[in-house]
Amino acid sequence: MKVLTEAVIRSMQKRDKTKELVVNPNTIVTPSAREYLNENKIKLIFENDEKKHSSIGNKNKEEIEMVEKEERKLVPKYISKDTGGFFETKPEQMTQLYGNELVLKDHPNILFRGKLDSLQSKILEIQVMADRSKCEKLVEELQEVLQFVRNILKAEVITEETAVICLFGLFEDDLRKMSHNPKKHIGVEHILPDYKMGEILIGLNAIRSRTREVELCSIPLERKDITKSLNRLSSAVYVMMCRYLSGYYN
């Protein structure tokens, strides 16, 4: 899978001030590359969009390949996203954001990915507890939650929209109703966590609270789809807490 970076587009523009760029539909276009295209009013067209662009597409493909070939010879291995500086080796205080773009490790996207990693670790920890307690249904639903979180991470990394929100066969409206009125839908009052409720329920509460932390961490990314998905996920985990208290997983 190819990655189209701002550096490649800039090199192409030096050769030919094109206003249309045709790329393979599987190409990952980095956010900085998209921003550069928008600023310079360059139209991005994916190969399968329109057949009439095939000749332009072939020309672009040749140019991209030529630029990439030259870059492999001339351009260092890494590029700083913020300064445009080049590096042959990755500085210890930096990490990859998209493709060969480097940012400092306290960059909002990197902090977000770290929080998601921590959330996945907590889900796995409680999943082990549930498995030890023979709560097979809970293990299955935690696996669904884990995959949901991994899909959010994937959507952020490849800059795609998150999928339709659905967990345990419940869509977001169902999750909202159940989390807002658990007495009506699940048969238990709102929960004020207490240690006497046991390690699994307290563990589920830890997943819920960490999800809220990740949601707050997602705001600087300006990805409303991701923030919304995390908000609904915290509601879904609260529903799991209420279900656990009601004996649903017994």
Task: Indicate whether this model's pTM tops 0.85.
Answer: no
What does the block give as tokens for 58? Answer: 């072939």
Residue 81 has pLDDT above 50, yes or no: yes
| Across 204-225, average pLDDT | 96
Q: Do 163 and 205 lie in a common domain?
A: yes
Q: Do 125 and 51 lie in a common domain?
A: no
- Taking only the tens place, the pLDDT of each residue in 112-140 is 999 999 999 999 999 999 999 999 999 99
Residue 244 has pLDDT above 50, yes or no: yes
Q: Do 63 and 138 lie in a common domain?
A: no
Q: Give me the number of domains the chain comprises.
A: 2
Q: How far apart are CA 226 and CA 209, in angstroms?
A: 17
C-alpha distances in Å from residue 16, one per residue of 2, 9, 40, 49: 21, 10, 13, 23
- Taking only the tens place, the pLDDT of each residue in 152-185 is 999 999 889 998 899 999 999 999 999 999 999 9
Q: Do 112 and 27 lie in a common domain?
A: no
User: Would you state the pLDDT for residue 214?
Assistant: 97
Domain that holds residue 242: 108-246
User: Would you state the pLDDT for residue 74?
Assistant: 52
pLDDT band at 70, cuts 50/70/90?
A: low
Q: Do 156 and 203 lie in a common domain?
A: yes
What does the block give as tokens for 129? Answer: 């507890």
User: Would you state the pLDDT for residue 62?
Assistant: 64
- Taking only the tens place, the pLDDT of each residue in 2-27 is 778 887 888 777 777 778 888 877 78
C-alpha dihedral, 60 to 64 to 65 to 69, nearest 10°: 150
Mean pLDDT taken over the chain: 85
Q: Do 242 and 131 lie in a common domain?
A: yes
For residue 94, being part of any structural domain is answered with no
Three-state SS for the chain is CCEECHHHHHHHHHHCCCCEEEECCCCEECHHHHHHHHHCCCEEEECCCCHHHHHHHHHHHHHHHHHHHHHHHHCCCEEECCCCCEECCCCCCEEECCCCEEEECCCHHHHHHHHHHHHHHHHHHHHHHHHHCCCHHHHHHHHHHHHHHHHHHHHHHCCCCCCCCEECCEEHHHHHHHHHCHHHHCCCCCCCCCHHHCHHHHHHHHHHHHHHHHHHHHHHHCCHHHHHHHHHHHHHHHHHHHHHHHCCCC
Q: Do 120 and 189 lie in a common domain?
A: yes
User: Would you state the pLDDT for residue 76?
Assistant: 66
Whole-number percent of the chain with pLDDT over 90 = 53
User: Would you state the pLDDT for residue 190?
Assistant: 95
- Taking only the tens place, the pLDDT of each residue in 184-208 is 999 999 999 999 999 999 999 999 9
Q: How far apart are CA 216 and CA 210, in angstroms?
A: 10
Q: Do 40 and 127 lie in a common domain?
A: no
Q: Which among 74, 99, 124 is the end of a domain?
A: 74
Q: Do 60 and 167 lie in a common domain?
A: no
Phi, psi of 71 (to 5 degrees): -65, -35
For residue 181, being part of any structural domain is answered with yes
What does the block give as tokens for 36? Answer: 């550069």
Lowest-pLDDT choice from 52-56, 96-100, 175-179, 246-250: 52-56
- Taking only the tens place, the pLDDT of each residue in 22-51 is 887 778 888 888 888 888 888 888 877 545
